[in-house]
Chains A and B, each alone.
Chain A
């Protein structure tokens, strides 16, 4: 599953650590999601979408 996390993060000038802190997850989690190595659970995906004030399908894209 592709995602726009890196772009959205860059638009806000947030580091991976900043985003990780806002989501209460580890920085490694953010890195794994951004690089497509890990697809987040539905609760975490919703939390990410909520943080960027977007719909979940605007952040995560089906391949």
Chain B
């Protein structure tokens, strides 16, 4: 019987659980890296002697990698959260953000198919992050 208590995550005395502390640290590191690489990359691209060939491919992928890290950070939070109810809320938040983003992508796709809109949103990673923030408010308001 005593083993059962070990199966439920232990909540620390500190107000911020360790999983959230790790989340904020990781998010800060990846967002900082993203901004630094993006500014550096764009300044290179817009310079008088822009890079060419394989280097520009590498630069493009390098800029995308910190954003991939941001998504990894969000999903690690889901795995590491100590409190199962909070984990449930974050799971709902991820689902809602994904649904809103996919709806936006689908609507834009059909506007494009019917030649109503040739230019559309391309930064779906950033759109997902924004909707993730909006979904947080919606999920916790309804909780």
Report which A residues bind B (CB closer than 8 A).
20-21, 23-26, 28-29, 32-33, 37-38, 40-41, 43-44, 46-47, 50
Instruction: Check B86 against A47 for contact (C-beta < 8 Å).
Output: no
Q: Binary interface profile of B, 30-43, with partner A (CB < 8 Å = 1, else 0)? A: 00000000000000
Instruction: Check B84 against A40 for contact (C-beta < 8 Å).
Output: yes
Q: A28-B86, A32-B85, A37-B143 are in contact. Are A44 and B8 (CB under 8 A)?
A: yes
Instruction: Check B84 against A46 for contact (C-beta < 8 Å).
Output: no
B5 touches A (CB below 8 Å): yes
| Shortest Cβ distance from residue B26 to the other chain A in the assembled complex, whole angstroms | 21
Bound-complex Cα distance A26 to B1 (A): 23
List 9 A-B residue pairs with CB atoms under 8 Å apart, sorted by A's residue number. A20-B11, A26-B11, A26-B83, A28-B143, A29-B84, A29-B86, A32-B85, A38-B85, A44-B8
Instruction: For A37, list chain B residues within 8 Å (CB).
Output: 143
Bound-complex Cα distance A57 to B1 (A): 16
Identify 17 new A-B residue pairs, CB closer than 8 A, beyond the known A25-B83, A37-B143, A41-B8.
Answer: A23-B8, A26-B83, A26-B85, A28-B85, A28-B143, A29-B83, A29-B85, A32-B143, A38-B85, A41-B84, A43-B7, A44-B8, A47-B5, A47-B7, A47-B8, A50-B4, A50-B5
Instruction: Check B84 against A25 for contact (C-beta < 8 Å).
Output: yes
Bound-complex Cα distance A37 to B142 (A): 10
Closest A-B pairs by Cβ, 6 of them: A29-B85, A24-B11, A43-B7, A46-B4, A26-B83, A24-B10
| B88 to chain A: closest residue by CB | A38
Instruction: For A25, list chain B residues within 8 Å (CB).
Output: 8, 11, 83-85
Instruction: For A29, list chain B residues within 8 Å (CB).
Output: 83-86
| A21 to chain B: closest residue by CB | B11
| Shortest Cβ distance from residue B29 to the other chain A in the assembled complex, whole angstroms | 26
Bound-complex Cα distance A32 to B143 (A): 8
